[in-house]
Structure 1
Amino acid sequence: MQIMRQPPVKTTLQPSNHPYLSGPWTPVHEEVDVEELEMIEGEIPADIDGIYLRNTENPVHQPLGRHHPFDGDGMVHQVNISGGKASYRNRFIRTHCFDQEQIAGGALWGGLMDPHGTSKRPGFGAHEGLKDTGSTDIIVHAGVALATLYQCGEAWQMDPVTLENLGKASWGPLDGVSAHPKVDEETGELMFFNYSKYAPYMHYGVVDRSGKLAHYVPIPLPGPRLPHDMAITKNWSILNDMPLFWDEKLLDRKIHAARIHDGVPTRFALIPRYGQPEDIRWFEASPTYVLHWTNAYEEGDEVVLEGYYQDKPMPDPLEEAGEYSHMMAYVDEHSFQSRLHRWRFNLKTGETREERLCDRIVEFGMINPAYLMKKSRYIWSTTTRPGWFLFNGYVRHDTQTGEEQVFELPEGVYASESPMVPRKGATSEDDGYLVTFLIDENSGESQLAILDASDVTKGPIARARLPHKISSGVHTAWVEHSQLKRDAQFRAEQAAA
């Protein structure tokens, strides 16, 4: 394996036994390029042709205070697959904060668990005291990869093929962009939201295919909230107001402590794609918190939404974790108990119906992207190691029959969020693959792995060795080379017009 190494970054991070700075969460600081990965098992299917991108919380400097796993600097890992071969590269996201800390030679901002005043410089995002890392989500829109922070920083741009950093998106509004904007590939539009501690507390916007802000309106809320994701259908964008948010009294003292507010329902805002605040249809549902939605679609008079309902959004501390007891619980799916759920919003009656789709603890699900905004049958969820934010297997849900396929990785091996990639010439919704990175703590290495989406019980059908062990990460994206070609053609036509 021929490895091309990039110039090293400055780092002051010391070895640590912190649960999210060691083991499968050990940061990697080298940036490399590998033209062709070496196969360990099987062959990369010839009917895959696209790019897998994974964002990662990957701290570079010694923390100023207590480290939270969501404090890390953004690093994108990429595998480019075509013709039965795969290349690999990884790059840090060069946000303004990353660059300033490289100049300073150390950390300038505190983290999520640190008290107000820890940061040496004013912070960013809805929290207002954090570093803008772009380290949560990654999507591809109009031929450009966009990395975003869950607390609403800038949208940081990268070339999805070369991973060249392209700076912040020019269309980003003052209140930033939350993680989990959504792209309608048919129209080329990107829908996004943000939130803050200032009225109206949320905004919603649309960016057109040329990368221009085409729509931006307030979504008035009763106070500061902590939404994490949104969903879209052909005609509606779905935002939410949930009862897990910052304690108002503590917020007055600049303490950001999220708690569940008893007696407050979950509310959903359905707004037409280019709608105004007065066009919003509000629906109430049982109180919960949801990190991620899997899909939404329209069916007759109803808008249907699917995602992961938390039975215990404010979990009990994991006492065995000692000083990290609260932090470990809040990132542990078995503590907040997330389960696959469906909501139905009746546009005629204004009523909401709910149903549980799976009793198993699951999250971070994917669907066949060809079924986005359409009625879909299959969802591929990840399972996690109890007590940890570590993916240790998969469940393929058949939402029509209730049947489940389950695959559990060997002890000490952990996966990444895994997009479903339809096979070229696919004949059914589940005809394709799951693409992922594996971290093997037993061997101390990482791998590219591909699974058969129609039968995950077989485990990986192909594995290739990565040049270094990577850190566990967060969200991912898959983009077809054919989509990138269409985006490039559109940009060329726009330039020539």
Structure 2
Amino acid sequence: MTPSQHTHPALVDMANHPYLSGLFAPQRKDVDVTGLTVTGDLPADLVGSYLRNGPNPRFDPIGSYTFPIDGDAMVHQVDFDGSTVSYRNRFVRTPAVIAEEEVGRALWSGLFDPYFPDEDDLDGAENTGRDMPDIHVVKHGGRLLAMAEATRPYALDPADLSTIGIESCDGAMLGGSTAHPKIDPATGEMLLFNYAFEAPYLRWSVVGPDGKCTRRPTAIDGVDMPMMIHDMALTQRYVVIFVCPLKFDIIASFTTGSSPLEWLPELGTRIALVPRDGSPVKWVDADPFWVWHFANAYDTENGEVAVDYVRWNEPTHLGVETAPPIADITRTLLNPTTGRITHTKLSDSMVEFPRIDDRSLTRPHNAIASSGQLPGGHAGTDTLFFDDLTTGRQTYWDSGTVSVGEPIFMSGEAHGYWGTIGTDRVTMTSAFYVFPTDDPASGPLCSVNLPIRVPAGLHGAWMSGSPR
């Protein structure tokens, strides 16, 4: 059957789709607004830009929509110059987005649907694939990158967020990248991994501080099937990759319509300690669990590796759940020599998106911020949690009716701050909130009214220095 013989998929019922309506409803226009209204005291030393990426379909999707895999990318930018705040947003205009803009409707169906655009619809864009760099945004080596996993990123112009084009980072990402590369603040290197659907199933590479590839994609031995791996951790000695037992079966999803992912707890979780000097990989075996996001990792004085992350009993939001979700912030100690592994619960609040001051990556850190919910709270993220690892005390800010996103550490010229985008569930308006790091649970120093509702999204980054 040729693509033109396919039955054209129907529009997705956006009004009744949990990730296309309400807080997640997409925006469709590019906006530039300066001089935003600030409530409270804007820190005078806060100078820089916050950028955040997230899935945002350019047109009403057809066939199916799986968050966040199927969303086109939209990057949001909030600029601070010490006295005023500005906002802009832009779609990442991939060839697929451009082709759809030319006809004014969605051409591609859901990623796991067995449908491809008709040749007549494409009209000259027959070789266009559908890239969705909608998970994260990273700046490194002079490049601003919109990123997703298992695909190459797209470079954006830092001046106005316009799309430059697909980027391989000098060959480091020829086969794709993780959405969560890690930048070593001491060396300036960006380290990353990539999983693939055929052998070699897992590779790692390095980009130097000047943007040049210093280690081309290198296979990691010991993985013999395609596994989903979302994030990684980094120490001064190791790239740390948790291979949880979540297997891809793309063929089954196309032929039977089943989920492309299969949870196989009998395989256990295997942890790769990949020496940054290129020596052989060390594997540590563990009971099965799932990880979306890491806070940080570092080498301990006695030669172990400490990893802080949110540990789930099994994957969430992927349609493979078999039990109620359990999540806690965990510190895992790994012994590269003996293979010994120990877990210590740091917090048992239901949270995600753990972040630290990125200037402490690869070294011991003293605080983790995350977003989640209090027991009995709204079914979403209405609370920011702050874990002081020095005292072992957790505090929180209950936002009331505001759904908060991933927290980010923002370094000012004299002080540090936590920040996040939040959307009020009653008014459906969005604001950027700035918190003091010495007592974030006391509430925001200020909030900045954003000119549009920012759809609930994913990951962001703080970039110090004069914006725009």
Give the shorter-chain TM-score range: 0.7 to 0.9
Q: Is the 8 A contact 2:180 2:232 kept in 1?
A: yes
The residue type paired with residue 232 of structure 2 is M
Q: C-alpha displacement at 1:186, in angstroms? A: 2.9
Segments of structure 2 that go 5 or more residues without pairing to the other structure are: 1-10, 120-127
Q: Aligned with 2:15: secondary structure?
A: coil
Which residue does the alignment assign to 1:65? 63
Q: C-alpha displacement at 1:305, in angstroms? A: 0.8
Q: Is the 8 A contact 2:327 2:348 kept in 1?
A: no
- Distance (whole Å) between structure 1 residues aligned to residue 109 and residue 254 of structure 2: 19
- The yes-or-no answer on 1:272 pairing with 2:272 is no
Q: Is the 8 A contact 1:43 1:84 kept in 2?
A: no
Which residue does the alignment assign to 2:211? 211
- Distance (whole Å) between structure 1 residues aligned to residue 373 and residue 200 of structure 2: 36
Over the aligned positions, Cα root-mean-square deviation in angstroms equals 2.8
- Distance (whole Å) between structure 1 residues aligned to residue 48 and residue 265 of structure 2: 46
Q: C-alpha displacement at 1:395, in angstroms? A: 0.8
The verdict on how the C-alpha distance between 1:248 and 1:167 changes in structure 2, with shifts beyond 3 A counting, is: closer
- More moved, 70-79 vs 177-186: 177-186
Which residue does the alignment assign to 1:119? 116
- 1:26-105 to structure 2, matched below 5 A, reads 26-39=25-38, 41-70=39-68, 71-105=70-104
Q: C-alpha displacement at 1:286, in angstroms? A: 2.2
The Cα offsets for residues 346-379 of structure 1, whole Å up to 9 and x where unpaired, read as 1332322221111111110111122111111210
Segments of structure 1 that go 5 or more residues without pairing to the other structure are: 1-11, 123-128, 316-325, 427-431, 486-497
Q: Aligned with 1:97: secondary structure?
A: helix
Q: Aligned with 1:263: secondary structure?
A: helix
Which residue does the alignment assign to 1:8? none
- Distance (whole Å) between structure 2 residues aligned to residue 435 and residue 177 of structure 1: 27
- More moved, 177-186 vs 161-170: 161-170
State the TM-score, normalizing by the size of structure 2: 0.87
Q: Is the 8 A contact 2:23 2:428 kept in 1?
A: no
Q: C-alpha displacement at 1:297, in angstroms? A: 0.5
- Distance (whole Å) between structure 2 residues aligned to residue 261 and residue 201 of structure 1: 17
Q: Aligned with 2:16: secondary structure?
A: coil
Q: C-alpha displacement at 1:167, in angstroms? A: 1.3
Q: Aligned with 2:61: secondary structure?
A: coil
Which residue does the alignment assign to 2:411? 422
- The yes-or-no answer on 1:369 pairing with 2:358 is yes
Equivalent pairs, count: 442
Q: Is the 8 A contact 2:185 2:360 kept in 1?
A: no
* Correspondence for 1:480 among 442, 464, 467: 464
Which residue does the alignment assign to 2:5? none
- 1:399-414 to structure 2, matched below 5 A, reads 399-411=389-401, 413-414=402-403
The Cα offsets for residues 300-323 of structure 1, whole Å up to 9 and x where unpaired, read as 2111111011023368xxxxxxxx
Which residue does the alignment assign to 1:344? 333
The verdict on how the C-alpha distance between 1:389 and 1:28 changes in structure 2, with shifts beyond 3 A counting, is: farther
- Distance (whole Å) between structure 1 residues aligned to residue 118 and residue 326 of structure 2: 37
- Distance (whole Å) between structure 2 residues aligned to residue 477 and residue 419 of structure 1: 7
- 1:233-252 to structure 2, matched below 5 A, reads 233-246=235-248, 250=252
Q: Is the 8 A contact 2:47 2:412 kept in 1?
A: no
Q: Is the 8 A contact 1:140 1:160 kept in 2?
A: no
Q: C-alpha displacement at 1:153, in angstroms? A: 1.7
The Cα offsets for residues 308-348 of structure 1, whole Å up to 9 and x where unpaired, read as 11023368xxxxxxxxxx75x86xxx953221111111133
- More moved, 360-369 vs 473-482: 473-482
- Distance (whole Å) between structure 2 residues aligned to residue 240 and residue 142 of structure 1: 27
The verdict on how the C-alpha distance between 1:389 and 1:264 changes in structure 2, with shifts beyond 3 A counting, is: farther
The verdict on how the C-alpha distance between 1:217 and 1:312 changes in structure 2, with shifts beyond 3 A counting, is: closer
The residue type paired with residue 52 of structure 1 is Y
Which residue does the alignment assign to 1:319? none
Which residue does the alignment assign to 2:455? 471
The verdict on how the C-alpha distance between 1:240 and 1:357 changes in structure 2, with shifts beyond 3 A counting, is: same
Which residue does the alignment assign to 1:318? none
The residue type paired with residue 175 of structure 1 is G
The verdict on how the C-alpha distance between 1:240 and 1:444 changes in structure 2, with shifts beyond 3 A counting, is: closer
- Distance (whole Å) between structure 1 residues aligned to residue 35 and residue 250 of structure 2: 53
* Correspondence for 1:260 among 257, 260, 263: 263
- The yes-or-no answer on 1:433 pairing with 2:417 is yes
Which residue does the alignment assign to 1:22? 21
- More moved, 360-369 vs 169-178: 169-178
- Distance (whole Å) between structure 2 residues aligned to residue 86 and residue 198 of structure 1: 46
State the TM-score, normalizing by the size of structure 1: 0.82
Q: Is the 8 A contact 1:145 1:158 kept in 2?
A: yes
